[in-house]
Structure 1
């Protein structure tokens, strides 16, 4: 079916790559595979994938390096990273590089499919997924449109990753209200990622909405409670 999400699976382990291709195909996705970052780059030039499922540790360019470079090039394709190391610091490193979610090996294939679907839902906003807004929300010289998950300003439309758009959408839906890190993680679809992963996403978002991320005007930290978005000119 042409409306099946098209995933690029990148892993240097041929056996795991084959298993991922088979399972994700059975789960209803179209799959292209690549053995390393170089093959992945070639595939990305030829096809607009809906999502990447990307191994962290690969010979040559690592998955972390690849996704960081994609983000630097303003490519916001959703990314789920796979790794044999699931320590909190490893997960945070994945989010810092620009990944949308992180799954440690070994994993249940059903959980993998669930994570993929969750990320894809975030990437394509669902009508009425958040409470209706009265219009775009002003953040200085930029405006966030919750219905389109777009951040617009004098320099045009600012590209947001799926995670950044979900975070800003959740905060915008409750503008002026303090949201705990746990609530935000649920809204992002990553409840087990940990508080530091939420902090990383907030840091990345501030770089795009704040005139000076070191002195936030709009996205404030409320100590021991969480975060609050306070729109304004």
Structure 2
């Protein structure tokens, strides 16, 4: 069980599906949180909803290429470091990429270890407050962004009700610790007429409402809600969120 408090989040942008998969596997194995985009448009959508510590960007892509995307991001004051990948290794192309606003440039084909060294070198140059990035908890195939209060499955957000989102914030803030039912009820606000999303009969006294909301949340985060792996019941004490 661990909590990824300062895991750098990388965005890989490449139209080559095989290379995206290899980079995702290699960089994840080396301690990074990795999200992949298939083209510039896909990357823009991800950048609008997530924060990244670095973008590893292929230059030669159909449609909007990597240089154009780099220039546009810099024009809109996006300061996220960018490492360009390209099959063209000539000096002129490298200069063009750096002038566009890239932080570094790596010609293809490259050794994965060299890519790793360059990524780490760039991250060391980034101020620590930027490098820390968002805080994530990993729950199997899901990741929970503690700063934004968002739950993601791959590149798709998982919709949470207001009460489910509140429960996730409560448990994530004390991941690995037992949170008593009384504390959960108090933090949700027991003085309300009932918990959001609960029927009147479920809201009586609050206890039944908690059970209902916990069950609903488990349906969204557990592989098997009947045998919870991540949101565990600690008999007689309360609940505990146990991330990977």
Q: Which residue of 1 aligns with 2:19?
A: 16
Unaligned runs of 5+ in 2: 130-244
SS of the residue aligned with 1:74? coil
| Separation (CA, whole Å) in 1 of partners of 2:46 and 2:34 | 12
**CA–CA distance in 2 between the matches of 1:27 and 1:34?**
19
Compute the TM-score of the two structures, normalised by the length of structure 1: 0.53
Counterparts of 1:74-153 in structure 2 under 5 Å? 74-124=77-127
Q: CA deviation at 1:124?
A: 2.1
- Pair 1:52-2:55 in alignment: yes
Query: Partners of 1:57 and 1:106 in 2: how far apart?
Result: 13
How many angstroms apart in 2 are the aligned matches of 1:27 and 1:109? Answer: 11
Matched residues in 1 for 2:12 and 2:100: separation?
Answer: 18
TM-score (ref. length: structure 2):
0.51
More contact order relative to length (CA 8 Å, sep ≥ 6): 2
- 2:29 aligned with 1:26: yes
Deviations 1:117-172 (A, max 9, x none): 0111111259xxxxxxxxxxxxxxxxxxxxxxxxxxxxxxxxxxxxxxxxxxxxxx
Shift of 1:48: 1.1
| Whole-Å separation in 2 of the counterparts to 1:61 and 1:123 | 27
Distance 1:6 1:100 in 2: 17
2:45 match: 42
Q: How many residues align?
A: 126
Instruction: State the Cα distance separating 1:15 from its structure 2 match.
Output: 0.3
Cα deviation for residue 14 of structure 1 reads 0.2
Q: Whose Rg is larger? A: 2
- CA-atom RMSD in angstroms: 1.2
Q: CA separation in 2, counterparts of 1:43 and 1:95?
A: 23
Any stretches of 5+ residues in structure 1 without a counterpart?
Answer: 127-233
